[in-house]
Amino acid sequence: MSLPRVVAVAPGSPAERAGLVPGDEVLALDGEVPRDVIRWQVLVDEAEVELEVRRGGLDRALVVRKAAGEPLGAEVSSSIFDAVQTCDNACEFCFIHQLPKGLRRSLYLKDDDFRLSFLYGNFTTLTRFTEADLERVVDERLSPLNVSIHATDPEVRARLLRNRRGATSLRWLRALLDAGIEVHGQVVVCPGVNDGEVLEDTLVGVLDRYPGLATLCVVPLGVSRYAPEGSLRAHTAAEAAAVVDRVEAWQDRFRRVLGRRLAFAADEYYLLADRPFPEAEAYEGFPMHEDGVGMARTFESEFTGRSPSTTGPRAGFFAWVDGAPAEGYRAPRTAPGAVRLRARRGAPVAVLTGAYGARVVQPLVASLGRDDVRVVPVANDFFGGTTAVTGLLVGADLGRALAGEPEGHRYLLPDVCLSAGRFLDGTTPEDLPRPVEVVPTDGAALRRALEV
């Protein structure tokens, strides 16, 4: 267990008034050693908080006095102070198993921790969930949570997770729903394994046993060039179309029985099947936007100005948890203090994006009727396979694409491929052969950047 270490104190905050300084290690809050930032938040919510801190090897006591519910104004170095619960599954489709060697260590962390689900929207299979976890989720109302379902048939699920507990762990899903916890489910579909009749059975199982699920997103597996030998393969266009048809047929059934669509096929399926995206209303408020469901439609409505607000990243409930940085799990996209390039007025503009992103952005850019703006789709050779989403673009591929592009143009780079200012291969935008302007990955931001 590591101690929460204070990394920032807001000027004028209760934490500063009490004498807390960056570098302090917090031993206890009101006599309790917090396990994570969720518990931290509960404890610092009080009007008076006693802190035991360690500074320069010496322990001291501080007392914070503030209004109940007022933020403490201190940021700590991580969100989980005891160990992150790691995953004990061995899914063949796991993208972490398909990563090349030598990337930063945090990318290889296979977490299966309901706290990260609550804080950042990570998915949990519940195979390591316990009665005590359930009690905590219910007592502290840690809602919503995201749960990987994959199949409701116990044997099929255990086979997919390669874990015998996969056969029984959905009992926790039932318990969470019974306790009124909002749960979003996910099915990663592997062709020939859990599509077709297995997917049909899963949708029947959801209606039968888990109709209280808030949503169910159906996403295709990703296959990189590093995929281990085995039965793993990408969908064909016909298989993708069959998944879309099945999900849409089930949306009608769910609407008749439950009054809502419940299940949604990921945008990637519509691209794979070469089908138009459903209308924006069909996404029922885009609850799974961050998981690639409805992203194309939101981007479009932001770009055209039909949507009043931008979506951007929504890291679970992290947004309202005081003092919980996503460091190590979901870091901010741009590095702190990153230098923004001043736009070169009048220069031709190129929008850099992945192969899928290009299919969404190209028609929007074309609708502007400007011959000074073009889209540059960047192939993902680094991961290879079916990897085509913009979020997995790396500096090596962008560098190769930019090297063949003219100097003096404006190159717009969506921030979704950055984490704390770095690409997944460890390089930074400054390593690229042409200067790029990093823009937030939403339609309104792209539109604004093109209006400069």
Kindly tell me which residue out of 87, 126, 207, 326 binds ligand SF4, with binding defined by CB under 6 A.
Answer: 87
Residue 107 touching ligand SF4 (CB under 6 A):
no
For residues 436 and 414, the answer to whether their CB atoms sit within 8 Å is no
Options 21-29, 89-97, 239-247, 342-350: segment touching ligand SF4 (CB under 6 A): 89-97
Residue 94 touching ligand SF4 (CB under 6 A):
yes
Rounded to whole angstroms, the Cα distance separating 156 from 152 reads 8
Residue 85 touching ligand SF4 (CB under 6 A):
no
Rounded to whole angstroms, the Cα distance separating 368 from 363 reads 9
Residue 293 touching ligand SF4 (CB under 6 A):
no
Backbone angles phi and psi of 43, in degrees to 5: -70, -35
Of 124-143, which residues contact ligand SF4 (CB under 6 A)? 125
Rounded to whole angstroms, the Cα distance separating 153 from 170 reads 10
* Residue listed under structure tokens 């702190």: 336
For residues 410 and 437, the answer to whether their CB atoms sit within 8 Å is yes
Cβ proximity to ligand SF4: between 166 and 357 the closer is 166
Cβ proximity to ligand SF4: between 4 and 166 the closer is 166
Residue 76 touching ligand SF4 (CB under 6 A):
no
Least Å distance, CB 37 to ligand SF4, is 22
Rounded to whole angstroms, the Cα distance separating 259 from 254 reads 7
Residues comprising the chain, all counted: 452
Total residues interacting with ligand SF4, rule: CB under 6 A: 9
Residue 90 touching ligand SF4 (CB under 6 A):
yes
Options 20-28, 82-90, 177-185, 303-311: segment touching ligand SF4 (CB under 6 A): 82-90
Residue 194 touching ligand SF4 (CB under 6 A):
no
Residue 258 touching ligand SF4 (CB under 6 A):
no
Conformational region of residue 87, where left means phi above 0, alpha means psi within -120 to 50, and beta covers everything else: beta
Residue 282 touching ligand SF4 (CB under 6 A):
no
Cβ proximity to ligand SF4: between 89 and 202 the closer is 89
Cβ proximity to ligand SF4: between 13 and 152 the closer is 152
Sign of CA dihedral 136, 141, 146, 151: positive
How wide is the angle at C-alpha 95 spanned by C-alphas 118 and 400, nearest 5°?
A: 115
Rounded to whole angstroms, the Cα distance separating 219 from 191 reads 11
Burial class from Cβ neighbours inside 10 Å (0-12, 13-18, 19+) for residue 35 reads: middle
Residue 89 touching ligand SF4 (CB under 6 A):
yes
Kindly tell me which residue out of 62, 91, 375, 438 binds ligand SF4, with binding defined by CB under 6 A.
Answer: 91
Footprint of ligand SF4 on this chain (CB under 6 A)?
A: 87, 89-91, 94, 96, 110, 112, 125
